[in-house]
Structure 1
Amino acid sequence: MGKIGIFFTLLILAFQASAQQVEVSGYFTQDSAKLGERVGFVLKAKYPEATHVIFPDSAYDFSPLVLLEKKTFISNTQDGITTDSAVYFLSNFSLDPSVFLALPVYELSRYDSITYFTNEAELKLKLTLDSIPEQLVFQENNVYQPLERSFNWLLIGLIAGAVIFIFGILAFVFADRIKAIFKKNREKIRWIQFERKWKKLANLLSQNPNQELADEVIGLWKGYLESLTDQPFQEWTSSEIADALDDREIFKALRSIDMIIYAGREAKTEEATSYLFGIAKATYLNKLNQIGHERATR
């Protein structure tokens, strides 16, 4: 044997020694399973710590079995030997009495890879029926089963269109009444808010007459009257307001509160605030009647 022969012999022996360093094994977690039942296949590999090994993934062809899930575990290394394991959850849809599976493990090198296969593991088919009788016996059932009907979008669309059309006609016919109801409700809410705030401020002013409270009371009253009549009450003087409403008692009531604001005098305000509140309420009621009259004349 020449030097070249010796070289190739040593190379083959080194290759075989390297190949034997990777040990693989695989087995099913149960020996039989029903058709479509989920069953696990355990794949293990032991190899030197410096060796790079990979397991098959979902791209591998597991037929006639179907891969459902792959579960991997953390590698364990002791004394330079690494142990890897994974569980492949599979289902069998083959009607053969037994199916066999051998999975590969790939050792990656710099320029090539080596494949190691496990021994074939057997999975037997577990039949639900031991045998099929020669004459089939059917259970009598005369109850009618309801059939699923497809959703009639055309009918639903026509119904929805008709409902929208009817509501449109009603809105057109009763538009004035709806607006009047809305206006009345809005005025009622404003009145409730004004009444609550007015009584609170008037009570505080009677207990402690001062310029700040007096100015706030007058501002609240003028603002509310302005919202009811659309007239510039906040820009008018007390005499101008009395002339506009043709009521000299309003001038006296406003004047008594103005004296607190401009002259800093203390005065009894219960009578003035009560009279101004009555004017606001009468104007509010007149506004409600006006809204109803406008609807009736249209």
Structure 2
Amino acid sequence: MRRLLSFLLFTFFCCFLEAAAQQPQGRFLTDSIEVGKPFQYALSFRHSSQVDVFFPDTSADFRPFQVIKLEYFPTETTSRGSLDSAVYTLVTFELNKIQTLEVPVWTLTGRDCTAVYSQMDSIRLRELISPDAIDTLRLQTDTQIVPLRRQPNFPFMLLVSLLILMIGTGVYLLFGESITKQWELFLMFRRNQEFVKNFTRFTRDVNGVKGIDNVEKAVILWKKYLQRLERKPYATYTTKEITDNLSNAQLAEALKSIDSLIYGGLASFNTADSLNILREVALQSYRHRRIEIAQATPASSRTYQKSSQNDR
């Protein structure tokens, strides 16, 4: 009797192992999930190499989950049989705290397929908002009426634009010449300030290592400034041509002294005085030009504006 009982228990245990070996194994690859966040579920099935099996695809019913991705793995065959496996990427929108899943695998037997279900596996839904926090929420019983935004009044905007255009045209006809003249004087003032600042920067150190370079840059700046003021190509003039156009004995001596320094390298203690003479000549020309523009007629003012634009 004892031997018979042992034989029956051994036979039952073998049958149990055989049944477990022929059942798909499915499990979640994480212990908790969140609503709308993807997670993975692994499914494997060890079977006889003589049996064809079919895993569910993305169109199968995985409720309460939805399949968004499927990854198959090649079949592995050993002496224990064949092993097929796949990993499913799932997502859930259910709010149950514990959600379960069992997945069928179909085996081909003769002319029919038999569904074999995996062991049921469960997973916990992670709560991001506690019930206590939800209970503290209160809906607003009354709302404040918000006025609708008004649409643009295009006829009124057109009328205002025409009115502004008419006023602007009238102001220009009455005061346009004066406004233009004052604007030109303001631009001349700004250019003069810029010239004085740059000229002073170049002439601050004329006896140092870069003294000759600074003097040369100061002379070039001076010629370009005079060219804009006098509307003559002073930048291309030689020293003799400049002195012929500007009859100034001190200017002639100053230019000769500067030429000796730049082209001959003959330093002189009068270099700073010569540069001051150049700056004074430029300032005199600037003051003379301002007086001409202030006293100019509208026609001559327009001629000067066109010449200034060409210089730019």
Is 1:146 aligned to 2:140, yes or no?
Answer: no
Please, what is the CA RMSD of the aligned residues? 5.5
Matches of 1:54 and 1:207 in 2, distance apart? 90
Amino acid across the alignment from 2:252:
F
**Unmatched segments (≥5 aa) in structure 1:** 1-16, 30-36, 94-99, 122-138
| Matched residue, 2:283 | 281
> Contact 1:104–1:115 at 8 Å: present in 2 too?
no
Q: Which residue of 2 aligns with 1:199?
A: 200
In the TM superposition, what is the alpha-carbon distance from 1:225 to its structure 2 partner?
A: 0.8
Question: How far apart are the structure 1 equivalents of 2:198 and 2:91?
Answer: 74
Shift of 1:279: 1.8
**Match for 1:91 among 87, 93, 113?**
93
Question: Could you tell me how far apart the structure 2 residues matched to 1:211 and 1:278 are?
Answer: 21
Tell me the residue number matched to 1:221.
222
Distance 1:140 1:196 in 2: 67
Amino acid at match of 2:220: G
| Preserved CA contact (<8 Å) 1:102 1:118 | yes
Q: Cα deviation per residue 1:214-270 (whole Å; 9 max; x = unaligned)?
A: 444322211211122221112334344334334333223223323334555433122
The structure-2 alpha-carbon separation of the partners of 1:61 and 1:290, relative to structure 1 and needing over 3 Å to count, comes to farther
Shift of 1:117: 6.8
Question: Contact between 1:210 and 1:264, CA under 8 Å: does it hold in 2?
Answer: no
User: Secondary structure in 1 aligned to 2:256?
Assistant: helix
Residue 276 (structure 1) shift: 1.2
Can you list the C-alpha shifts for 1:58-88, whole angstroms capped at 9, x where unaligned? x55778x684x74768979897635545363
Alpha-carbon separation, structure 1, partners of 2:159 and 2:85: 73
Instruction: State the identity %.
Output: 18
SS in 2 for 1:56: coil
Displacement of 1:280: 1.4
1:270 counterpart residue number: 272
Matching residue of 1:46: 44
Give the structure-1-normalised TM-score.
Answer: 0.53
Q: Identify if the C-alpha distance between structure 1 residues 204 and 81 changes in structure 2 by more than 3 Å, giving closer, same or farther.
A: same
What is the alpha-carbon distance in structure 1 between the residues aligned to residue 274 and residue 263 of structure 2? 16
1:56 counterpart residue number: 57
CA distance in 1, matches of 2:40, 2:216: 89
Shift of 1:192: 3.9
Alignment of 1:65-214 (within 5 A): 67=66, 70=68, 81-86=83-88, 88-91=90-93, 105=105, 116=115, 118=117, 143=142, 145-147=144-146, 149=148, 152-153=150-151, 155=152, 173=171, 183=184, 186-206=187-207, 214=215
Instruction: Write the deviation string for residues 148-171 of structure 1: whole angstroms up to 9, x where unpaired.
Output: 73x555x16567656765665676
Partner of 2:234: 233
Which consecutive residues of structure 2, in runs of 5 or more, have no partner in the other structure? 1-17, 121-138, 303-312
Tell me which amino acid in the other structure corresponds to 1:195. Answer: V
| 1:77-134, Cα deviation, whole Å (9 max, x unpaired) | 89763554536333359xxxxxx987655679xxx99684748x9xxxxxxxxxxxxx
Residue 274 of structure 1: how far off its partner (Å)? 1.0
Aligned residues: 243
Q: How many angstroms apart in 2 are the aligned matches of 1:118 and 1:177?
A: 97
Q: Is the 8 A contact 1:102 1:117 kept in 2?
A: no
